[in-house]
Structure 1
Amino acid sequence: MSTLSKTSPNSINKVSVGTLLVTLGIIFGDIGTSPLYVMKAIMGKEVIQEAIVLGAISCVFWTLTLQTTFKYVFLTLKADNKGEGGIFSLYTLVKRLHKRWLIVPAIIGGSALLADGIITPPISISSALEGIKIYQPDLQTIPLVLGILFGLFFIQQFGTKFIGKFFGPMMLIWFVMLGILGVSQMMGSFYVLKALNPYYAFHLLSIHSDGYYVLGFVFLCTTGAEALYSDLGHCGIKNIRISWAFVKIMLVLNYFGQGAYLIEHSGKTLSFLSANPDNPGNPFYLIMPEWFLPIGITIATIAAVIASQALISGSFTLINEAMRLNFWPKVRVKFPTDIKGQLYIPSINWLLFFGCCFVVLHFKESGNMEAAYGLAIVMCMIMTTILLGYYMVLKRYNPIFIVLILLVYLSIEISFFIANIQKFSHGGYVSVGIAGILALTMTICFLGKRIRKNYTEFTSIDKYKTVLSEISKDPTIPKYATNLIYLTNAQNSEEVEEKIMYSILQKRPKRADNYWLLHVNVTDEPYQMEYRVKELLHDNLIRIDFYLGFRIAPKINLMFRKVVKDMMESGEVDLSSRYASLNRNNILGDFKFVLIEKLVSYDNDLPVNERIILDLYDLIKKISLSEEKAFGLDSSSVKIEYYPMIIRPTPDIPLIRRK
């Protein structure tokens, strides 16, 4: 087996000041901007009570400790696939257990994470910009939010190589600001530190009538943990763990600072503290000195944009993985910069943009968005826990430890789910609806592909070696191409689809000097790029198997050229033109790709469920990228043919010939 090019996971394994700064800018944007809206969501319009505040910040602290620190930073980050993380990477690790139902948590989790990418930018940017209302209470922030969102999504096509250099330093400023603001409020009010005692969290949940409802908003403090795992490959486990120690301290200081401020104003409401009865104040801005507010609002807005950028980039990576795993229809993927792993998917970019605009226009204010936020991502966390359990089984962890982890975290996350489900009618239906549409699309793509594959007929190549050799030398048949190339789905190198032989022999006899069969294997290693060559018929039929990682774009045209070049240099094949005049001048022969589109014949007797899935799958294919573009083929050298796929023939028609 040969290597197409030297590849390695896109991760930063060494720890330095520079890599830690990069990690701050890429990894912690989502979870790092949560102080903008968590305490505001918890308090709402209710009268501030010390018991609720202490219980809330105690819940926040222990959620960050148990959920983010232990489950994700300590445990889940170990479940890396050659340095890459995320729920699809985790799925590729555990699917070797051959439990087919594991596809369910993978699809649900991936869909929920994408839905989070639509909700997070609006709530983060809206929460930041609403600080301007301190100066202009009647200001409509919706146009500003939409304008920033448009600018953010518009620049994706150019890549983020330049502005990315500022992400780390800006997030460092953001986190330092969080810590300083928190400490300034805690000075003289250190009694708030007693919330470190989990008793106050249990007291809130068990005694207070609104305790469980509050838990739904507490969960917002850890929503970025799943994105943290997905971005593992960008920075490496060591950088994430070291940076998280700093990030968590700054977050906790700010939450406790907001708590100290609120306790000092017990008996009042946030609306009263903001002097605006129609607009509840935000504790995040209320703890700022008046002279610092313009600076704080500016820094918060920049941090929210950076957090949104990280989720957008993560969505591109997630969709690219989904395409390679047959969970998503083929769409155009671009590489705007030379930074390894940076993608731009136009269709997803604008789909996310319009989704974000819908969220902004539907909810109008961040306070209304809080109800929609959290429900989808907690579903993703539950799915990750299930897959993580199987990963630990695969790695032969102590069974007692596995059971304990599953019991603890499924209990925690199901509790969060129950708390968040109470917000369904208040806006949670939006995130669930978005996740549901995405999951349905993934399910149709996966099942449609599998049904077609199950009904594909294969035949032995040995049966056709003689006729292929003879047709290549038959001058009575016009030459179709010097090199004729087909893409095959046959896993067995000694087999080929019936449709390919039908195309060569019956569709229109296609004489060629060399026949090539190309097969693409999607491997569980994210950045593998290797190939194997097998000569099936001397100087006539060659098969090439590509082994490409699930994060590698299948640029078959370029890869095939690389293989051909290697074979010519090693003397394995002579691809000079067989036309005498061209051969004398050392001109290479031409190459022609033939792609065969399978059409489900109407002459089929299919089960209703399979018919519906195939019809929906065909509809999705019509609006997705064509096969030749998806495989990076030059359209000028590609011929598209259509082959009727007879899946299950109907009974013979009782047609009688009349005399």
Structure 2
Amino acid sequence: MFKNKDITIGSLLVALGIVYGDIGTSPLYVMQAILYTNNSIATRELVLGGVSLVFWTLTLQTTIKYVVLTLQADNNGEGGILALYALVKRYFKWLIVPAIIGVAAILADGILTPPISVSSAIEGLNLIVFLKEDATVMIVLVIILLLFSVQKFGTEKIGKIFGPIMFVWFSMIGFFGIVQLVQNPRILEGINPYYAFKLLVSGNVPYILGAVFLCTTGAEALYSDLGHCGRVNIYYSWIFVKITLLLSYFGQGAYLLSREGHTFVNSPFFLIMPRWFIIPGVIIATLAAIIASQALISGSFTLISEAIKLNIFPKLAIRYPTKEKGQVYIGTVNKALCIGCVGIIFIFKQSQNMQAAYGLSITITMLMTTLLLSQYIRFVKNQKKLWIVVLLVFGTIELSFLYANSFKILSGGYVTLIITAALAFVMYVWQYSFEIKKRYLKFVNLTDYKENFNILKTDSELPLYAGNVVYLTKSKLWNQVEPKVIYSIFNNEPKKADNYWFININVTDDPYTREYIFNKIEENRIFVIDFNLGFRVSQGINTLMFQVIRDLIKSGEVVFKPRNYMIDYENLKGIGNFKFIIIEEVLALENDFSAWDSFIISTQLFIKKFTVSPQKWYGIDTSVVDIEKVPILFGKGLPDENLKRIK
């Protein structure tokens, strides 16, 4: 099952630095959240039941669901909810719904994780010096703003120290956990699920489950970061991580159990440390929280990039700040996340208050992943019984946690729901507007217009528009294009050119596909290129076309008329200039859409105003682009009216 040669100390450290930031910093606040359900008073039933619930949640939800089952659902080595969706989307159209909701919930989690993690770490200083609430807020705010300000530079260099820091972090929490366990080993009774069951039947179930669920909030990252770390490294590193996490939880529980009946204002995470180690502990915890936040931010960039290429999110400008595989930067997302984090800090101020909003989003994500995973097991793995077991068992667990977290809505969970709903609505509009257009979209055959191209070529009255004219199309058949493209060539300022290129980009379910198919409508004159690109591959047309044309010239499939005045560049002398035609759509007033479809199309066009322009998205020099606007005339159309002439 495992290949030892794939595992090195370096690869395991990379996994520690990338995968486990979120779930690894959960001990900062989980036991405190459990105590909070009982007015911060430690009782034997609460402590034993709490650590028992944590133990079985990490075992069932994280280890069995994600490490054992979900990691098997890799898409050519890539993981994450969109990679999983790409594997199963052909089976049912409705699977787009859990994919959209899951993506929206993950992005909402990306707004909540930095504030709660960093705040929980900084609040440990209260054991040494009393910090006023405003002082804590300002420290957290400065750290968050600095974190977002460096995103545009990438994390290639500082990312190399993430692994060692997280190793120190996990070693630290494990060590202090062992110290407490030695002093009070009775806490190990909590492994018995009886105590978990006993606590649940004692009442206050929703609040207890809502607090316990926080221990598994980073489990989704184990799957999302599959492509960065590899399955084997996650398998082995999880053994170390889970042991240290359990040692920390049980160590905190041992400390609380020995002080039964006491009220705890501060987090037991820091209380189990010697006083002299509090400041180093806070520093290490803060670094771990920053790494956890960084993982969520980088993950959000990657997720949005994938969603854009799968056409379920508006196009935004994407940069690649470093040569590190898979690292992207999206300025708009960075600003949105930063504003969201700052808003959370000012609204809730303390980590204890943030716990109400935290957890709800990732519960939704996990439930959506379970829906997609069950269909993957059902259709791709063809395991007819296992998919039902997965759906029932994990669906029940996650619905229970969702029910528990729903009690947090009025005390802060509403923030999560608003963010998730807003993002899901944007994605729904973008996806459904595409489906509306596809419903009415028609295509014409290019071969039917050969004569028109010949007449245009011989018309001496028309000046040469460009050496090469390029159109982007959405046809699935290589010899067809939209009528608006034909109209643009022959009617809307006729475009006389030496060569015509029709480009279609097809996003594949494989994340890293880089293929193209070349066809000719007319020899050395009218060409069609179909690109098959994975959902993690850049769609820069300039670079792609340069590579294709170079290949075609080299193979002799395309011969250009020599232009001796042109400077020879990469053996492309004589190719001539290029002009890209981008056709933008505007909603025509005479449409007869249904009221809902009209609203969706109008909303989509409004959202489009805030997205990156097509020429920037496709990496086209703006000096070689012409923009043409065409009305959307889909729908049934208005009935003909008899117009009467009176003079």
**Paired residue for 2:16?**
24
Please tell me whether residue 651 in structure 1 is matched to residue 639 in structure 2: yes
TM-score (norm 2): 0.96
Q: Judge conservation of contact 2:581–2:627 (CA < 8 Å) in 1.
A: yes
What does residue range 3-402 of structure 1 map to in structure 2 within 5 Å? 14-44=6-36, 45-97=39-91, 99-139=92-132, 140-206=135-201, 208-270=202-264, 280-402=265-387
* 1:478 to partner: Cα distance: 1.1
TM-score (norm 1): 0.95
For 1:26, the aligned partner's letter is I
Q: Judge conservation of contact 1:469–1:540 (CA < 8 Å) in 2.
A: no
**Paired residue for 2:468?**
483
* 1:583 to partner: Cα distance: 11
Partners of 1:583 and 1:357 lie apart in 2 by: 53
Q: Judge conservation of contact 2:467–2:498 (CA < 8 Å) in 1.
A: yes
* 1:13 to partner: Cα distance: 8.6
* 1:397 to partner: Cα distance: 3.9
Range with greater deviation from structure 2 (382-391 or 45-54): 45-54
Q: Judge conservation of contact 1:577–1:590 (CA < 8 Å) in 2.
A: no
For 1:181, the aligned partner's letter is F
Q: Judge conservation of contact 2:310–2:535 (CA < 8 Å) in 1.
A: yes
Partners of 1:586 and 1:433 lie apart in 2 by: 56
Range with greater deviation from structure 2 (476-485 or 111-120): 476-485
* 1:470 to partner: Cα distance: 2.8
Q: What whole-Å deviation, never above 9, does each CA across 1:249-302 have from its counterpart, x for those lacking one?
A: 0000000000000011111100xxxxxxxxx21100000001111110110000
Q: Structure 1 residues 13, 493: CA separation in 2 closer, same or farther (over 3 Å shift)?
A: farther
Q: What whole-Å deviation, never above 9, does each CA across 1:41-62 have from its counterpart, x for those lacking one?
A: 1102332111110000000000
Q: Judge conservation of contact 2:524–2:560 (CA < 8 Å) in 1.
A: no
Partners of 1:586 and 1:351 lie apart in 2 by: 45
Q: What whole-Å deviation, never above 9, does each CA across 1:417-458 have from its counterpart, x for those lacking one?
A: 111111111111111111111101110111112212322221
Q: Judge conservation of contact 1:577–1:583 (CA < 8 Å) in 2.
A: no
Partners of 1:583 and 1:211 lie apart in 2 by: 76
Partners of 1:482 and 1:395 lie apart in 2 by: 48
Q: What whole-Å deviation, never above 9, does each CA across 1:485-525 have from its counterpart, x for those lacking one?
A: 11011111121110010001000111111111000000000
Q: Structure 1 residues 481, 177: CA separation in 2 closer, same or farther (over 3 Å shift)?
A: same
Aligned residues: 636
* 1:398 to partner: Cα distance: 3.2
Please tell me whether residue 554 in structure 1 is matched to residue 539 in structure 2: yes
Partners of 2:74 and 2:385 lie apart in 1 by: 22
Q: What whole-Å deviation, never above 9, does each CA across 1:578-630 have from its counterpart, x for those lacking one?
A: 6x866999543111111111222111111000010011000000111111111
Q: Judge conservation of contact 2:25–2:292 (CA < 8 Å) in 1.
A: yes
Percent of counterpart pairs with the same letter? 49
* 1:653 to partner: Cα distance: 3.0
For 1:327, the aligned partner's letter is I
Q: Judge conservation of contact 1:83–1:236 (CA < 8 Å) in 2.
A: yes
For 1:658, the aligned partner's letter is I
Partners of 1:480 and 1:310 lie apart in 2 by: 49
Partners of 1:581 and 1:73 lie apart in 2 by: 62
**Paired residue for 1:9?**
none
Q: Structure 1 residues 587, 540: CA separation in 2 closer, same or farther (over 3 Å shift)?
A: closer
Range with greater deviation from structure 2 (448-457 or 322-331): 448-457
**Paired residue for 1:422?**
407
Q: What whole-Å deviation, never above 9, does each CA across 1:512-567 have from its counterpart, x for those lacking one?
A: 11111000000000011111100111121100000000111201111111111111
Partners of 2:308 and 2:383 lie apart in 1 by: 35
